[in-house]
Structure 1
């Protein structure tokens, strides 16, 4: 009965959201299952009903966030185009939007440098990049683009987007605040791809 009550009151999602915030604001090493439980107003034992250890909890957060970005990429490629943007520009713009509208998630996914947790992120980062790269390559092939066989092009695009997001995420600005700058950035990238 006690476990059933805990399950209804303290969900995996609530735990993950609190842990995500604490990992970013306090650092992975300084957070324990006990401190996450205290933050939520529960004993740390209640958390173990959902996650057997802190590393499992962290990895669940990482997988959830990268899965969200993968779905976002697919939705952009299948959905309607915004006026004035190409498909690739919209793909890049949505990635920037995700980073700035979800700074805690983005920082966990791409900006934490703790060696203990990088192992959890690297495989998911690689999958995310590979998905982005496959979309870009497919689009360039379909367009008959001269650089369609350039294997490094998606990597350079991804790095440029990450740099843009990382630069603006420091100031905690929203996507809407810098949308004109973001559009200019992705159009500049696309122009240089087409000029290449």
Structure 2
């Protein structure tokens, strides 16, 4: 009965939130299931009720974070257009907002460089890029934009967004802190890519 109570109190979400922070601050190799348990104030044995091993826990975090980002980007397709922004610009802003407002998640998804865990991220990164490419092209088609037929535009926009996030994430600035700069950046990316096709 006591074990069931502990398992119920120590949810998957709590474990994942703690592990996400530790993976970023100490590195994947620098933590163990035992250290995650200690951080939470539980024995590491109670973690194994939810996750068989550290790799499974890490992958669960990666999948959850990419799913969250995907849902936010899909929501842009349903939202009404924002004044002064194209739908592609709205999509880029949503991506940037996610990165700045969820820095630990973003760092795990796109910025960790440990060879042991890159394979966990690569597949999800590819799916994320494919989703961005698909949604962006839908918007461009609706807007009769010449970029629709440019095969290189999604990657250059994607890298432009990532560079912006990578620069500002170091100072833990939120999207609200730098929203004017973010808007100017996505407009520049959109115009630059447009001019390359003209």
TM-score (norm 1): 0.97
> Which residue does 1:165 correspond to in 2?
165
Show CA shifts across 1:24-70 (max 9, x none).
01111010000000000000000000000000000000000000010
Name the residue aligned to 1:66. Answer: 66
Report the secondary structure of 2:171's partner residue: coil
* Matched position secondary structure for 1:81: coil
Q: Distance in 1 between matches of 2:80 and 2:142?
A: 18
| Structure 2 counterpart SS, 1:48 | helix
Which residue is 1:120 aligned to?
Answer: 120
> Secondary structure in 2 aligned to 1:168?
helix
Shift of residue 194, structure 1, vs aligned partner: 3.0
Unaligned runs of 5+ in 1: none
How large is the Cα RMSD of the aligned pairs? 1.0
- Measured in 2, the distance between the counterparts of 1:44 and 1:7 equals 12
In the TM superposition, what whole-angstrom CA distance separates every residue of 1:105-147 from its partner, at most 9, and x where no partner exists? 0000000000000000000000000000011112222222222
- Segments of structure 2 that go 5 or more residues without pairing to the other structure are none
Could you list the structure 1 runs, at least 4 aligned residues long, displaced by more than 6 angstroms after superposition. none
Q: Distance in 1 between matches of 2:98 and 2:27?
A: 22
Q: Say which SS state the counterpart of residue 105 (structure 1) adopts.
A: helix
Matches within 5 A, 1:45-64: 45-64=45-64
Matched, 1:136 2:136: yes
Displacement after TM superposition at 1:96 (Å) = 0.6
Indicate conservation of the 8 Å contact 2:81/2:87, yes or no: yes
Q: Matches of 1:8 and 1:104 in 2, distance apart?
A: 25
Q: Normalising by structure 2, report the TM-score.
A: 0.96
Aligned residue-pair number = 196
Does residue 180 (structure 1) correspond to residue 180 (structure 2)? The answer is yes
